[in-house]
Structure formats: C-alpha cells, structure tokens
C-alpha cells in the first residue's frame, strides 16, 4: 500500500492544525501510524490520495447508510445549492425535515434543528434544566455526548462524587453538577437518585452505547431508566446521534420499545451533511426561545443544503421496506466471521465492535480490558488488505446498504485471516 501522497499531506497538515487533524478521531496514533488522506468515495468504497481503494466500514462515522455519494442525496443537495447555500431565514425544507423526524419518533412532539451532535446535546440538557428547574444531570461512564464542557468527565471517577473534568481547559465548576453512573448498572443510578432526589434534571444516555465500542443495554435496563426517571421527576434523554435511523426507522426507541422524554439525533438525519436535531415533549420544547426562557440559536441551523440531504436520506429509508433486514443479514455475516476468527464481538443491528479481551464487554470497565496493541495489529492487517475500519478500539464498525455480497465475503475472508495472524 502506497502512502507517499498521504504522508506529504500529513506533513503539511501538522504545521497548520493540531495533530494535523480537525478531529482527534481521524488521527491514527492509537494504531501506530499516520492518518490516510481521503480523495474521494463512492458506494461502499473509499479512495485515498495515493489511489488505494478500501471497502469502507467507517461510513463517515455512521451517516452514509446508503453508501458514499448516494445519487438521490447528491442530486437533492445540488438542487438546493443552486437556489442558495444558506439564507439565515426560514424555509420550507426545515418544516419537511421536522415533519419526517416527528413522524418516525412518537416521543418527539416538537423539534429544533442544529448543526452538530454536540450542539444538540448541549441544547437538550439546557432545555431539561430549564424545564425542570434543576441543575444536576446523570451521565454514564463510557458514553460520549460530544465535547460540551459539562459532559467531558473522566470515565471511572467515583460514583456519588462530583465529576472531574477529562480535558484541560474545563474548570471543575463546569462539571460539578454532572453525576457519573455505570452503564448497565441499576444500583449506580438508584444511589444517585437517593442521594439527590430533588436535584437531578435528567439522565442522558446512549440507549445502545457505541462510543466505548458497541455495548448494548442489558434486558430491561432502558425500561428501568424510564421508570426511575419518572419516579423522581427527572427527564430521560436518549442520545440517538448514532442509533437514530441506524437501528430502525424509529431509532433505538422503536428497536427496544422504550420512549424518552427528549431525543438527540444526528448522523443519518443530515444525510451526511452537518446537521443534528433535538426534540421531545411539547411542554419541554415550548420552554425554548422564542416561546420560553431557554436560549439557543444558530445562524446556519436547518440550512437548505443540509435539510435537503436529510430529507433525501429519510425519504430513501421510507421507500425501502427491506433496508434494515438487508443490513441485518450482512452484519450477521460479519459477526459470524469474527467469531470464527476467535474474536470477541458485540453487535446490535448494523453496528459492530470486535473487542480484544476475554471478558464479556457490558460496560466501560470491561471495555477498558481490551488489548489496544492487538487491536492496532488487527486494524493494520485489515487496512493492508483493503478494509477500512475505525482507527480505535473504542468505536463502531458501520455496515451500509451499499456493501455488496462480494464486499462482505471479501471482508469475512480478511477477518478470518486476521484472526489466525493474531492467534
């Protein structure tokens, strides 16, 4: 595999951007190499600056559920751009996308469009605090909700104590109202509510964790969160930035049969363009400006190009009644190949992670037992054999409708060889 052009681009980039990247997840430091620079992508394939071709299972970290440069989405964006990139004013596309989101999520009665998952989470928490009049929030170790200050706290910090910021530049006072619980651990949640019964505004959780690798909720866990939040008058927020329209056309809420008070969406809802959303019960959302006192704004929120992409993506989902069945079949084949290769794999729908540990991965602590060195060897073997996956142990593998039977067969063969190499 040639990397001359990528190497040259990286040497230019490191002089101009921190680490040579605009998001840390793009750096390949965890797998012991410099990042590839991508030139273009089409369908299930991604091509780097040196002309190397890879079967892509990153899919822009999830939104490309129909593959790269999906013609209906590209055409919709082109038409929108011809009418103007952005207006900073109301337009019909915002309404159409909002209607589609609400039609798929019964728990969402009103929605606000924003530009990123981080912005959506930050705004949803502000709305939860504003509508309840409470300050404290519960998050879970290993669940990532973007880089807003109150949620950048150390995984593994002691329960029942104020969280410690996990990034310099975040004052301790910014996270003093953030409480940490253990994912899939009911007692850790009940202890917090018993200690702060009238102070917790909300629980925020990835209903299926995908940022410590894929870690599904144990049976009944989401329903437990639903019940205990109601008991104490707190709101339940599902961060469905990854799971929304990925696990089903109604996200994790439809997949698991549990509704939240508020929902955060991203990735697919923008069709690959920068767009996210947060929504929920009408009484909560009516607390947001200009109706209420919870302020949130954005010049480019719901812009014509991004909403056009989102509308096209959701329309394509609606028009393919067998989409999730096809994704399930392809993903199951990959899971089977991983298990045959002796790998420890978690899968939910079209999300997969191979963990390099002998322990069952059910939470942040067990995920951290993974051998990152072995994952790096696994990643590099796949990359050298034309398979592009996440350059980190603690990410998901995404399967798209563009992955052909041949793509899956090739990938399974490479995975089986990787297993033999590692054992």
* Residues tagged active-site: 144, 239, 267
Torsion of CA 382, 386, 391, 396, to 10 degrees: -80
What 159-164 contacts at long range (C-beta under 8 Å, 24+ apart), as own/partner pairs, is 159/188, 159/191, 159/192, 160/191, 160/192, 160/195
DSSP state, 156?
T
Contacts of 331 (CB under 8 A, 6+ apart): 347, 349, 350, 351, 352, 399
Report strand pairing: 178-181 vs 136-140.
parallel
**Cα(122)–Cα(373) distance, integer angstroms:** 34
CA angle 249/254/260 to nearest 5° reads 115
Burial (Cβ within 10 Å: 0-12, 13-18, ≥19) of residue 264:
buried
CA proximity to 351, closest of 371, 372, 338, 332: 332
Do 119 and 276 meet the contact criterion of CB atoms below 8 Å apart?
yes
CA proximity to 185, closest of 159, 162, 212, 147: 159
Do 381 and 417 meet the contact criterion of CB atoms below 8 Å apart?
yes
**Cα(400)–Cα(398) distance, integer angstroms:** 7
């Amino acid at each position: 595999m040639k990397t001359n052009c990528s190497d040259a681009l990286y040497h230019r980039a490191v002089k101009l951007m921190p680490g040579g990247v605009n998001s840390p997840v793009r750096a390949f430091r965890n797998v012991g190499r410099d990042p590839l620079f991508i030139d273009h992508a089409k369908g299930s394939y991604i091509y780097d600056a040196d002309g190397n071709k890879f079967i892509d299972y990153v899919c822009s970290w999830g939104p490309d559920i129909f593959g790269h440069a999906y013609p209906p989405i590209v055409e919709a964006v082109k038409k929108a751009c011809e009418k103007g990139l952005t207006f900073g004013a109301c337009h019909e596309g915002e309404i159409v996308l909002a209607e589609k989101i609400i039609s798929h999520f019964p728990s969402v009665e009103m929605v606000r469009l924003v530009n990123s998952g981080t912005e959506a989470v930050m705004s949803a928490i502000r709305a939860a605090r504003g509508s309840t009049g409470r300050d404290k929030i519960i998050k879970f170790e290993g669940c990532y909700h973007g880089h807003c200050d109150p949620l950048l706290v150390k995984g593994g910090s002691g329960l029942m104590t104020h969280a410690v910021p996990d990034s310099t530049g975040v004052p301790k006072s910014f996270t003093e109202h953030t409480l940490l619980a253990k994912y899939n651990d009911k007692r850790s949640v009940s202890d917090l509510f018993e200690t702060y019964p009238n102070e917790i505004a909300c629980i925020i959780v990835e209903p299926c964790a995908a940022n410590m690798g894929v870690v599904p909720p144990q049976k009944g866990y989401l329903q437990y969160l639903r019940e205990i939040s109601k008991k104490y008058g707190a709101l339940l927020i599902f961060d469905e930035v990854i799971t929304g329209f990925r696990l089903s056309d109604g996200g994790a809420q439809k997949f698991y049969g549990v509704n939240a008070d508020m929902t955060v969406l991203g990735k697919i809802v923008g069709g690959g363009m920068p767009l996210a959303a947060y929504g929920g019960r009408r009484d909560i959302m009516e607390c947001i400006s200009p109706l209420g006192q919870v302020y949130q704004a954005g010049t480019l929120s719901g812009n014509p190009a991004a909403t056009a992409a989102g509308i096209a993506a959701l329309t394509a989902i609606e028009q393919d009644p067998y989409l999730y069945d096809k994704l399930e079949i392809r993903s199951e084949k990959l899971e089977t190949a991983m298990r045959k290769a002796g790998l420890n794999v978690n899968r939910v729908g079209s999300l997969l992670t191979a963990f390099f540990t002998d322990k069952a991965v059910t939470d942040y602590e067990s995920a951290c037992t993974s051998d990152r060195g072995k994952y790096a060897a696994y990643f590099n073997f796949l990359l050298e054999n034309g398979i592009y996956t996440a350059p980190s142990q603690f990410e998901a593998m995404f399967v798209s409708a563009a992955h052909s039977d041949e793509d899956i067969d090739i990938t399974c063969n490479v995975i089986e060889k990787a297993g033999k190499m590692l054992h």
